[in-house]
Structure 1
Amino acid sequence: MDEIVKAALKKWPNVPHCWGWLALDARGDWYMRDDRVQAAGPFPKVKGSRILHDKLREFIHRNYLADESGDWFFQNGPQRVYVELEAAPWTWRLAPGEAAPAITSHSGRQAQFESAWLDEQGRLFLATDIGLGLVHTLDMETAAGAVESGTWVPQEIRFDELPARFGYRLSPATAHAAQLP
């Protein structure tokens, strides 16, 4: 977490949380979802405005965390901005490696493979030392090589079982709707 964020938390410890305004899609892209977008429908059916500003994305990446309930958030100064997830907390980018592909998150964090999971839509998820993520569609050829060689042996799972098994929530806003103003 950035030092400026830590300082803001100390200065303003009781800032209310923000729900539904930030989302992460299956390709690792961030979206802003203002009141109008939220009223138009749930994520990912209605995505909102894709965040293209490099510095803002880097700031979100450095301050992207999970709480004890498995809700992912961006710590924006003293405020937690909870994230709506399309598929998983991470989107994996793969690079061919000698023994196995190197795994890097959409935010640039390196991860170590633990297990592979295939849902009913044929999407490949990887459990790693930093959590569960979906393999980016552009990297499925590299992933297929790891599967074909036996390096990764995917287990079948229904998509709706992934959050409970791996301890995250797709929609913190929905889970906390009763607490919202």
Structure 2
Amino acid sequence: MYEHSHLRNEQRLTAQATSDALTGLPNRLKLADVFERERAHALRNGTPLALVFIDIDHLKQINDRFGHDVGDHALAHFATVLAQRLRSNDLFCRLGGEEFAILLPGSTAAQAYAIADSLRERLAAAPLPVEGDALCMTLSAGVAGFGADGQSLHELMQAADRRTYAAKRARRNQVIARDDKPQATAQA
């Protein structure tokens, strides 16, 4: 009985250490662990692997206007809406604040772009009910592909993060998969 209780407590503590309490999503620690396994699989089998870095647009304004309780509800809503559209083998994580990442095993950067853009559209189409109103939420995202953008989680995170902030600087509510300027900016 003691061993069973000890094992259950150890599993509970591990789950707490690798998940975000607010959204229930895995956290950065879990991402690092799963990335190493998926990286080894991608190298061994020559399969693609991609990472999407996501930042919720204007979360600070939601917090400032409606309070942190609504901001927390917005984070949970965001996590729920996006998680419904992902495959079971994708790893959707909350990194902290309004920053999230999705590890997409078996996906090229082009496929990851399509997935991220569909998530962007899905979020925009699923407003958060707040005080009798519908609050539209948007996201900015950057995509990085294993190999082309690096071999380590750190390198992929840097590339995807850089592209996310390029999306935010350009006009928000978009996904960028390459380092060249966004289409709208290039035409301007």
Per the shorter chain, which TM-score range? under 0.3
Structure richer in helix, relative to its length: 2
Structure having the higher Rg: 2
Of Structure 1 and Structure 2, the greater strand share is in 1
TM-score, scaled to structure 2 = 0.24
Normalising to structure 1: TM-score of the pair? 0.25
